[in-house]
Structure 1
Amino acid sequence: MSSSATGNSQNKPIIMLIVDTLMDETLQKAIENDKAPAFQFFMEKGQYFPDLVSPFPTMSVTVDTSLLTGTYPDQHNLPGLVWFDKQENRLINYGSSFQECRKLGIHQTLEDAFFNMNNKHINQDVETIHETLWEQELESTSINALVFRGNTNHYYKFPLLVKWFARMNDNLAVKASEGFTYGRFSKYIPSNQNQHFWQRFGFNNTFSTQELLHLIERDKVSPFTIVYLPDLDKWIHKHGRMYTKGIEKVDHQLQNVLNSFDSWEEALEKYTWILLGDNGQAWIDSDKQKALVDLRNMFNDYKIMKLNKGVMPEDQIILGVNERMTFIYTLDSKNLPVSDFVPYLEKDERIDMIAWKNSDWIEIRSGTQKGKLKFRPDGDYKDDYDQEWSIEGDPALLDIDLGDKHIKYGEYPDTLARIASCLNSHEGDYLIASVKPGYEFIGEGSPTHVGGASHGGLHRQDSLIPMIVTGTDSSPEYLRMIDLKKWILSMLVKQ
């Protein structure tokens, strides 16, 4: 496709900036303290939506796939950062921690993250924004986004150290958007300095914004460009939810982008801007003993798969820990059904949601309160997203109000659809669980964030993110990540 295809758009090009772990409360505090003038400018000139709902689990790879495909995990099939692939009989990990990845194998982890996630693991029957725009002969660009599947073959340029140490093959193509930046491994600016090992090989805010500025200054911005700014996530993980200095640092990058125009107003005249987070983070207790829910201790009656050994004949359980959420798989569903795990989890009052499939129903239990709840699609109850459900039992387990047959969600946004999609996201016999704010799960080698913040969970602290939109009065049908694709395409594709 030639660059002339960009002329097919009837509207202004869209630049979407995904600020990892951007949260309303933190953003508002920074603006209140006059520390975020660029964010404030965008907000005053456009629309502000404080409570956009992310999919579950609230991990970036799952969230970004939902954004690009307009579907929950039951359709796009990318369940989380860590999950068990029944077909390949192995645990997939796209990079939760160096310790876990080292035990699973550095080569395999990098191969999954660089190639398999986009080429193989995302369901081929769903279409990304990049693929839809390609069919409409409209160019799109992805800058440092973790999920980027498109129709164009790209080849990474791995440094010699990476090729030697991790045995990475740079003759293997990855399918991506036509314009494509992925750290130092695929970039526009040959001399971009922010790409060294200690700078995460270019996966940082400065690198991302410099790549965007390269396109803006040369007037080569695609009709749709997505730019991923990853740094706030690690700062919030370390310092906690209200680390406003992180917002200040991101704002300086936004100012650099706006300052590349003759005026900040010109930036709004030339482009439609969408600024949003991907997931929130919940606070984590500073007491290590309280904060960490150790699943190995909880299930020490069973044989848990060791990361460095893979699945062995004697193994009974596999743990797929996604920070504040976990998959727990049984390897012998006949003699060890996942319902056998429930009593262990119910004993821990830090665990607020336990769910598994039971025939056509989804069963819910909790460690925070007694009672039973079950639900399934279709029925007499309808929620704010026009989804219909059958519900039996105590709705308080999921903080749901069922007045007048209308479902009102509380601490767990769009919780029925999100739980159902998670339990139907991939093959296997598994149970899922989530913990209250203040806590996170650990298994073998899991990252921990004691005294900071973490995500993955079902709670609103993990799940709600803000979005700023300039250049259009339109908005998504519903304020959920899965509703953005249809809305974005409506602004770019002639109806």
Structure 2
Amino acid sequence: MGFRSIFILFLSILLIGCSVHKNNEEQDLPIAIQTNNNKNPPKVVLLIIDSLMDKPLKQAIQENKAPALAFFLNHGRYNKNLVSSYPTMSVTIDSSLITGTYPDKHKIPGLVWYDEDEQRIINYGNGFFEMVKIGVSQFAEDSLYQFNNVDLSHKVETIHEVLDKRGKPTASINSIIYRGNYEHTLKIPKVLAKTTALPDHYNTSGPKILSVGAFIRQNEKNKHLVNRIGLNDAFAAQELKYLIEKNILPEFSIMYFPVNDHVVHRKGPMTTEGIEKLDKQLQEVLNVFPNWKNALDNMIWIIIGDSNQSSVKKNKKEALIDLRDALSNYNILKLDEPVQNKDELVITANERMAYVYKINEDIPLQDIISRLQTDERIAWIAWKENDMIQVKSENQEFRFKPGGVFRDVYNQIWSIKGNSSVLDLAIDNNNQIKYGDYPDGLARLYGALHSQKGDFLILDAKPGYEFIGESSPEHTGGGAHGSMHKNDSLTPIIVTGTDKSIDHLRIVDLKEWILDILK
């Protein structure tokens, strides 16, 4: 379960104590709509549908259960292979989206990770029980303030910050990662402020227009606040409708729809239920216009997923990789305790990937690796050694670093040694690298291993399996993501309103592409 799911579930628990519209135009053959050549610049609207996947999307459209998405797809361009960031967890992906960088630059390693400087586990919401053990106040501080204002590196600029410098206002609706140049106040619902140790508000930096559910909204008449305290699809759609109806939609807006992710985690990757619910909200937005085709007038719509999800086996004993079992001879830091001299390791499971931190210098890293590599459910283990990245799978080893004679499809150059099949690389006689099961695997793994300080390992699970630690969530019989495997990493993109090409189809490339559109 992702950050947003846990965050809103928790606050909703504390707080507790639409019809389908007919598609009003005939479907045309797929074409790319050109941006209008007039004096007004186009409006760009980026919609993020959490865990949107190609097969269920196509199925919902074929069964006439997603007319709005069908409309956008039939009036634009479509590709099912947009490459996500790594780990394939919402906060890391969305940080890559708005900064145009991998975690080695934006410094958000995952939903849960260990901060060596603060000597504590940072949890943006990777499990309700984990959050409770870490502490409600600390969780709120990290997620409502520290994430955008402290942890997200100030050495990189977000798309909101860049466009504001150009004199182009932007909006963020229900996206948890939104840092910009304007000060805003997130108001804590009164019942929470009075019944917990939470303050009545947090100050934060965001774009000119910011909506984050019940914490801050543009439309004071938006009543979709009870369900997940406004962090839901209906609230987001109503906010977008308000901006359009009031003619205050800025040149760039980013909006996040979370419901599909919740459904897929429960019911597995092939469910269309979440897509159908989301589509009803998109229909509400399209119905603001005189007819749906008017939504394409001088507007560029970009609809993406943030990652895929893999099926997790139903049998818990088989599906769940509890790293505490393999590492039981070490003293592992407990969630509700400060670091003590006796502690040797920290485990932070991010669904289908995990970090294992060595916080006792006397423990040989190879001893930890030897204990972990006996588990056949782990695809590979990676770590830094001198200036190289080491990757081990069973008895095969592979090493790489930036620079060298090998060039990949993204025009990145690498030095490579060992068995490249560990990361399913194909290298031809001209030293050209092609990726297989791990799209852009070298850059994404390098980014994750340089996302934070410390001596640590990255573990990536094979399809069908999921890591758990102390009080981690689990998704047996449902879906999960986190890994670098293509099953978790490839997601659809629909674009209408422009034929401007993008150099590479990766989430990390979307920022510069959008900035180029809005020149």
Q: Distance in 2 between matches of 1:84 and 1:166?
A: 26
- CA distance in 2 between partners of 1:306 and 1:168 (Å): 24
Matched, 1:248 2:248: no
Superposed CA deviations along residues 322-376 of structure 1, whole A, max 9, x for unmatched, are 111111001123x11433321122111111121000101111112xx43111111
CA contact (8 A) 1:413 1:463 kept: yes
How far 1:34 moved relative to its partner? 2.2
Secondary structure of the residue aligned to 2:155 is coil
Matched ranges for 1:100-139 at <5 A: 100-139=130-169
Corresponding residue for 1:43?
73
Deviation per CA, 1:457-493, whole angstroms, max 9, x where unpaired?
A: 1111111111100000013210011100101001112
Q: Does 1:340 align with 2:367?
A: yes
Candidates 222, 244, 247, aligned match of 1:219:
247
**Moved segments of 4+, more than 4 Å:** none
RMSD, matched Cα: 1.3
Q: Compute the displacement of 1:254 (Å).
A: 1.1
* Alpha-carbon contact 1:11-1:491 (below 8 Å) kept: no
Shift of 1:290: 0.7
Task: Indicate the SS of the match to 1:168.
Answer: coil
Q: Secondary structure at the match of 2:78?
A: strand
The aligned counterpart of 1:373 is 398
Report the counterpart of residue 309 of structure 2 in structure 1: 281
2:47 equivalent to 1:17: yes
Verify: 1:194 aligned to 2:228, yes or no: no
Partner AA of 1:209 in structure 2:
A
> In the TM superposition, what whole-angstrom CA distance separates every residue of 1:54-85 from its partner, at most 9, and x where no partner exists?
11100000000100000000001011100111
Q: Select which of 195, 199, 202 maps to 1:169.
A: 199
Inter-partner Cα distance in structure 1 for 2:201 and 2:278: 35
Aligned to 1:413: 439
Equivalent residue for 1:478? 504
Distance of 1:390 and 1:165 partners within structure 2: 56
The answer on 1:236 being equivalent to 2:261 is no
Distance apart, 1:193 and its partner CA: 2.1
TM-superposed CA distance for 1:260, in Å, is: 1.2
Q: Name the counterpart of 2:32.
A: none
1:171: Cα distance to partner? 4.8
The 8 Å contact of residues 241 and 285 in structure 2, kept in 1 or not, is answered as yes
Q: CA deviation at 1:389?
A: 0.8
2:366 and 2:305 map into 1 onto residues whose CA distance is 35
User: Counterpart of 1:449?
Assistant: 475
Moved more, 156-165 or 44-53: 156-165
Shift of 1:11: 2.3
Residue of structure 2 in register with 1:145 after alignment: 175
Aligned residue pair count: 481
Offset of residue 10 of structure 1: 5.4
In the TM superposition, what is the alpha-carbon distance from 1:287 to its structure 2 partner? 0.6
Q: TM-score with structure 2 length normalisation?
A: 0.91
Letter in 1 for 2:493: M
The alignment partner of 1:123 has SS state of: coil
**Matching residue of 1:156:** 186
Partner SS for 2:88: coil
Contact 1:15 1:224 in 2 (8 A): yes
For 1:184, give the aligned amino acid. A
Q: Distance in 1 between matches of 2:195 and 2:338?
A: 21
Counterpart residue identity of residue 321, structure 1 = A
Structure 2 letter corresponding to 1:491: I
Q: 2:349 aligns with which of 321, 324, 327?
A: 321
Distance verdict in 2 for CA 1:10–1:73, change over 3 Å: farther
* Cα offset, 1:304, TM superposition: 0.4
Match of 1:33 among 59, 63, 66: 63
Contact 2:468-2:474 within 8 A present in 1 as well: yes
Q: Which runs of 5+ in 2 are unaligned?
A: 1-38
Q: Secondary structure at the match of 1:357?
A: strand
Partner of 2:262, secondary structure, is: helix
* Range with bigger deviation, 177-186 or 164-173: 164-173
Q: Secondary structure at the match of 2:473?
A: coil
Q: Deviations over 1:415-451 (max 9, x none)?
A: 0111111000011111101101111000001010000
Name the residue aligned to 2:453.
Answer: 427
| Paired amino acid for 2:85 | P
Q: In structure 2, the residue corresponding to 1:305 is in which secondary structure?
A: coil
Aligned twin of 1:363: 390
Q: Deviations over 1:280-317 (max 9, x none)?
A: 11110011111100011111010000101131221000
- Aligned partner letter, 1:360: D
CA distance in 1: counterparts of 2:380 and 2:67, whole angstroms: 39
1:428 and 1:172 mapped to 2: Cα distance?
Answer: 30
Q: Following TM superposition, by how much is the alpha carbon of 1:49 offset from its aligned partner in structure 2, in angstroms?
A: 1.7
Paired with 1:307 and 1:259, the residues of 2 have a C-alpha distance of 48
Check if 1:96 corresponds to 2:95: no
Preserved contact between residue 303 and residue 494 of structure 2 (Cα < 8 Å): yes
Partner deviation per Cα, 1:212-242 (whole Å, 9 max, x = no partner): 1111111110100000001100100000000
Which ranges in structure 1 are unaligned for 5 or more consecutive residues? Answer: 1-8
Report the counterpart of residue 3 of structure 1 in structure 2: none
Percent identity over paired residues:
44
